[in-house]
Amino acid sequence: MRVALDTNVLAAAFATRGLCADVVRAVLAEHELVVGPRVRSELWRVLIRKFGLPPEAVEKVDAFVAPYSSDAAAPPLAIDLRDPDDERVLAEAVAGGAEVLVTGDGDLLDAAERAPIRIVSPRGFWDLLRSPEG
């Protein structure tokens, strides 16, 4: 399965231990990671500002994520979200061929029924992986 992870899921995975780190490990081991250009650029900002990682550590994270980054053109989707950045993250996931977007963003999760791909929380994705159909 091709899996897109949003910025905060990736940032939490690299900056802390816990469910998001487990999700990233599972995706890397069993699936195909998709990282859009918006998520990749936001990752720098979040890791430095929110988690206080030094730029050298963020460079290593970026080098790790780079091979999974897609530069696929992301045409706008016919879905209206409150935050244009969320629209772009979703559009990039779709353009990258993702089948699922894992996010903790409430606006994206609220739009899951209208989205062209499955949108789940990290816990929802973890449960999906462990279910018989996962």
Q: What is the pLDDT of residues 76-111, one digit of tens each?
A: 787 878 888 888 899 999 999 999 999 999 999 999
Residue 123: predicted pLDDT: 97
The arithmetic mean of pLDDT across residues 35-52, rounded, is 92
Reported confidence tier of residue 122, pLDDT bands at 50, 70, 90: very high
Residue 84, C-beta contacts closer than 8 angstroms, at least 6 positions apart: none
Measured CA angle at 26 (ends 58, 101), to 5 deg = 75
Structure tokens, 119: 């949108």
- End-to-end CA, the chain: 9
Residue 78: predicted pLDDT: 76
Residue 133: predicted pLDDT: 67
Give residue 105's region: left, alpha or beta (phi > 0; psi -120 to 50).
Answer: beta
Per cent of the chain over pLDDT 90 is: 76
d(CA 116, CA 24): 22
CATH of 2-128, one of 3.40.1010.10, 1.20.120.420, 3.40.50.1240, 3.40.50.1010: 3.40.50.1010
Q: Where are the domains of the chain?
A: 2-128
